[in-house]
Amino acid sequence: MAQITEKGKGWEFRHSIWMLWAILTFGALNYISFYYISYKVKQRKWFIAGIIYSILFILVMVVSESFPTEHWVYDVTLGAYLLGWIASIVHVFKIRPEYLLRLEAKISSGHKEKEIESLKQKIAQEYGTTTVSEKRDNTNTTVLHEQQKMVNKENSSEIQIVDINTASEQEIAKVPGIGTIYAKKVVLVRSQENGFQSFDHFVEVLSVKPHLIEKIKPHLKFPETHSIQPAKKSEGRIVDF
């Protein structure tokens, strides 16, 4: 026989032994072949074929028992029995390629593992226990949460602080809540104001929105400013010599 699947002839031979129920039992148990493959790949049409062969076998047995002395009845039932047997042999050879392809596809899709997992979950629900996969999922979720906490902790401990009066536009753009477009405005206003005196000054001249103030503040550094007192004008009259 030519190879049908990608699993090789050895695999195909091992999964074709079911045909012997139709070939070697002289029609007495041919229906088992169809029941078997119907169960393996979940095909109703082969289950129906098994029912038909079962009915044919039962009818032959019933008629033979009902008319034991009628030779013509015996000949007819024997002929029908042999025809059914031959038909089942032809039938199993005809459906063998489709069965092997369906079985290969089912195995490749992991259908059996899915059925087992579904059964485990059903049993676990009935007895109020947790399946191994659920425990594994819970463990993985816990590990992910712990890793996320560690990342957040590291990020919070490594806050990047920039000097708002000396930082470049690219450095300012990296501050959370500012971005590239707003950084351009910061640099422009900084130039116009000759630098920012304090965070309050920064917020005021740039009209920073309230929800961004707390987000931006930890990342900015402002130089200490010293107020310069203007020189006092001398009062009095100028004496002309």
Spatial distance between the Cα atoms of 162 and 172, rounded to a whole number of angstroms: 7
| Burial readout 185-215 (b: 16 or more C-beta within 10 A, e: otherwise) | ebbeebeeeeebbebeebbeebebeeeeeee
Residue 193 structure tokens: 């104001």
pTM (2 d.p.)? 0.48
Mean pLDDT of 77-102: 92
Per-residue pLDDT at 241 exceeds 80: no
DSSP result, 96-153? HHHHHHHHHHHHHTTHHHHHHHHHHHHHHHHHT---HHHHHHHHHHHHHHHHHHHHHH
Mean pLDDT of 9-24: 94
Assess whether pLDDT exceeds 90 at residue 32: yes
Residue 124 has pLDDT above 90, yes or no: no
Distance between terminal CA atoms of the chain? 134
The DSSP H or E segment spanning 220 is strand 220-221
Among 117-126, 146-155, 158-167, 200-209, name the one with the lowest average pLDDT.
146-155
- Rounded-to-integer distance, Cα 104 and Cα 14, Å: 13
| 57 vs 145, more confident | 57
pLDDT, one tens digit per residue, over 212-240 is 888 888 888 887 644 334 444 444 444 44
pLDDT band (50, 70, 90) for residue 73: confident
Question: CA-CA distance, 102 to 108, in Å (whole number)?
Answer: 10
Return the pLDDT at 34: 96
Over residues 79-103, the mean pLDDT reads 93
Position 35 confidence tier, pLDDT thresholds 50, 70, 90: very high
What is the average pLDDT value for the chain, to the nearest integer?
81
Q: Count of CB atoms within 10 A of residue 29's CB?
A: 17
CA diameter of the chain: 168
Q: What are phi and psi of 25, to 5 degrees?
A: -95, 5
Q: Is the pLDDT of residue 159 over 50?
A: yes
